Amino acid sequence: MKKLYIISCLIVAISFSMSCVNSNRDNSEVKLVTAEEMQSILQLEDVQLIDVRSQKEYEEIHIANSQNIDFTSPTFDDDISKLDKQKPVILYCKGGGRSAKCAKKLKDAGFTKIYDLDGGLSKWQHSGEIEIEAKS
């Protein structure tokens, strides 16, 4: 009987610790989203849409209503500190590399909801799924 009690307690303790680990991980994960998912998020939530490419790239072509915060800029850390950590953030770049690095920085800085456009602008710009503003 005593062994059964100890085993039961261990199972409960392990279950509890695993649920805590999973809930902490879920709160800080970066979620890759398609252009369609991004559009839904933009319609449902008050979101900060951030283009992390250079200003020159941004001026050539960007997603409508996005703001430019250059990931390679020396002022990048100051620029992201001006964002609201409680509001969701959607990041994108040309192919997904810079936005993935930026997402990690935002996660480390305490942002709670981070989305990253899967494949970046180059994957979705001709899909018709997102509104693009291009220099004419």
In the three-class reduction of DSSP (H, G, I as helix; E, B as strand; rest coil), residue 125 is classed as: coil
Q: Which two tokens stand for residue 87?
A: 């509001």
pLDDT digits (tens, 9 = 90+) for 65-111: 999 999 999 999 999 999 999 999 999 999 999 999 999 999 999 99
pLDDT of residue 6: 60
Q: Which has the closest alpha carbon to 103: 42, 63, 48?
A: 48
For residues 42 and 49, give the distance between their C-alpha atoms in angstroms, rounded to a whole number.
Answer: 8
Buried b (16+ CB within 10 A) or exposed e, 111-126: bebbbbbbbbbebbbe
Domains in the chain, CATH or no CATH each: 27-134 (3.40.250.10)
pTM: 0.77
